[in-house]
Amino acid sequence: MKKIAVFPGSFDPITKGHESVILRSLPLFDKIVVAIGENSQKNSMFSLEQRMEWIRQTFKDYPQIEVDFYDCLTVDYCKQIGARYILRGLRNSVDFQYERNIALVNNDLCPEIETLFLPTKPEHTSFNSSFVREILKYGGDVSKFVPSAIKIPENQ
């Protein structure tokens, strides 16, 4: 049985922190699906198509990484594609508390799917998509926060 993990998120846009967690977890899984989830509480700055393309470009040299999207519960998506693991990155204790609660609910919904946490590297602790969007909103340079494959037009 293949070890398949889902790395869910909005990736609006993907950051170097996301990239690092995904690449560092590659030895643990046969396949990682970077899955963009529909989040009814978030308004995206970038289209689904743009986010998927950036993720594809970021991981184009890694055939074991796939990109997809879903609009259901994460555990239901995992069941649909045969994934037994949810991968999450943790930047700090606030992330841990938030992600732990989600993992506990997911475990209640589907005990056969495990959530695994991987801490970010210290240099990526401050990176998140919200900060990147805020920097972009005011015309700042985000190149140090996003993977090199991402070229964000200046009019964003």
- Phi, psi dihedral angles at 149 (to 5 degrees): -70, -15
- Phi, psi dihedral angles at 115 (to 5 degrees): -100, 130
Beta bridge partners of 88: 117
Closest Cα partner for 153 from 57, 67, 69, 54?
Answer: 54
Res 50: pLDDT: 94
Q: Can you give the pTM of this predicted structure? A: 0.92
**pLDDT confidence band for 107 (50 / 70 / 90):** very high
Res 64: pLDDT: 98
Res 105: pLDDT: 98
More confident position, 154 or 11? 11
Res 40: pLDDT: 66
Residues involved in catalysis: 18, 42, 91, 129
pLDDT tops 90 at residue 155: no
